[in-house]
Amino acid sequence: MNYKVLIPQDIAQEGKDFLLEKGYEVKVGSGTDEATVIAEGKDADAVLLRTSVVDRKILESLPNVKIVARHGVGFDNVDIQAAADLGIWVTNTPLSNAKTVAETTFALILTAAKNIIDVSQKMREGDFFYKNQHKGMDLEGKKLGILGFGRIGKMVAKQADAFDMEVLVYDPFVSSSVEGFPNIKIVDREELFKQADIVTLHLPSTDETKNSIGEKEFSLMKESAYFINLARGEIVNEPELISSLKNKQIRGAVLDVFSQEPLPMDHPLFDLENVILTPHIASNTEECMARMALHAAMEIDRVLSGEKPSWPVNSPQR
């Protein structure tokens, strides 16, 4: 049978080559709006999905689809319950990007701590000695607070250990000790915000976590502390974060994700000097993109071959 796979947003060639070699017809979409996805996927048997939204209406309009394979770890852009009701598997690629995201996290932590972007820009403007009044800080001996201790959080903790940082962890699903991590300290949520010199967020977007970090949490933080978010924008109350940054309630923030993406050019975050903004680049490497594309394609092949997927995030009802 000649199965068809719809890819609304293009992926790395490795994923497409895998599907083509297996004999699948691959359709790279021309748009991510509802009407286009429905029109181009009306005869598709699988969808390999990046960041576009697939809701119940779209799923109900794709009668042949047996799997929506997410290109990445998060799956908040898919209606998981609707897929289960319709007998459609939803999968992700949990082994594809953790090291990459952890590397990017630490790259941005270092960028903020050493004040690299600011002093580099001033040097380009001719102010070589701006650095004298705008020094960075060492990471050695500082406390790194990690919210969420899954694959990414654990890898960030390992990197922090190499910098001789003290690692504080809050995760409601983690006990008082974690095998392989003798040097971390499990603390309650409030204590993490109070003690950490840098707070980095590695939580999924769920009903419980959405809008869960705001004025209360920022008021607990040290004035010298940084807030880092490479997880999901909707976890943070953006207006309250902006207020905290404007009032110098915290030293600064590094944001790779936002409540709206792309971030509108008139957004107030662009007016703040104490925030570093990056366009959702946490997993944006050649190697990681290839792994995510390949792993998602492998899940499609498993399901369309009559097997169960390796990384399901739902349980289809029929």
Catalytic residue check, 50: no
Distance CA 159, CA 110 (A): 12
Backbone angles phi, psi at 66, to 5 degrees: -110, -15
Catalytic pick from 232, 291, 295, 302?
232
**Which of 162, 177, 210, 213 lies closest to 192 in space, CA to CA?**
213
Distance CA 192, CA 196 (A): 6
| Strands laid side by side in the 67-70 sheet | 25-28, 4-7, 46-49, 67-70, 89-91
Catalytic residue check, 280: yes
Catalytic residue check, 261: yes
Catalytic pick from 190, 208, 261, 287?
261
Instruction: Answer yes or no: are the C-beta atoms of 215 and 188 closer than 8 Å.
Output: no
Strands (E), 14-53: 25-28, 46-49
Backbone angles phi, psi at 90, to 5 degrees: -120, 130
Catalytic pick from 151, 189, 267, 280?
280
**Which of 228, 233, 231 lies closest to 263 in space, CA to CA?**
233
Taking each helix axis from N to C terminus, what angle separates 151-162 and 98-113, rounded to the nearest 10 degrees?
50
Instruction: Answer yes or no: are the C-beta atoms of 229 and 205 closer than 8 Å.
Output: no
* DSSP helix/strand/coil, 73: coil
The residues annotated with a catalytic role in the active site are 232, 261, 280
